[in-house]
Structure 1
């Protein structure tokens, strides 16, 4: 009789462990899907905003180039001046890319990851 009780307990324990494993895997899948959807939606919205800003910047630069060129007497002078301006900006950005670009973006990514980790480990934040 004890053998049957022990076997039933082992089966019950095995079923619970199996259910726990299946539930854990399902939870991991759902968290992965949620994280992927969040990343994709954020990326899509940022690309859309970036495209609008790029078009705005393009037309603004063309307008400024034409205006400067008109004031100087030849339209291509304005384009040369704007190109020189962007060359200077590119040189400054290249020289200070670590301080201006890499460090802030790295810090943002790390803080985002740590924020997600805190949410997962602290149920009060969910």
Structure 2
């Protein structure tokens, strides 16, 4: 009788291990879906906000360019001045892109990943 008892206990242990593995895999799938959904939702909202900000910036720049041009006597002067302003902005961003763009985005991604693994 003892060999049967051991075999039944082994089968029971095997079934428990199999159920644990299936449950762990299902939990991993659900966590992955949750993370992907959170990331896609966040990205979609940021894209929508970016589009609105881009239109606002576009129309604001056109208005400022026309106003500067009117004050200087020729409308195209205002557009040249605004273009020069943005050229200076591009030079500043290119010179310091690592500090003002790359590092903060990398830190945000890392903190997001570490926050997800803590839960």
Q: TM-score range by the shorter chain?
A: over 0.9
Tell me the TM-score normalised to structure 2 length.
0.96
How many residue pairs match? The answer is: 119
Tell me the TM-score normalised to structure 1 length.
0.91
Higher relative contact order (CA 8 A, sep 6+): 2
| 1:81-120 superposed matches below 5 A | 81-119=81-119
Matched with 1:27 is 27
1:103: Cα distance to partner? 1.3
Aligned Cα root-mean-square deviation (Å)? 0.9
Unaligned stretches of 5+ residues in structure 1: 120-126
Structure 1: 4+ residue segments shifted above 3 A: none
1:112: Cα distance to partner? 1.9
Matched with 2:54 is 54
Unaligned stretches of 5+ residues in structure 2: none
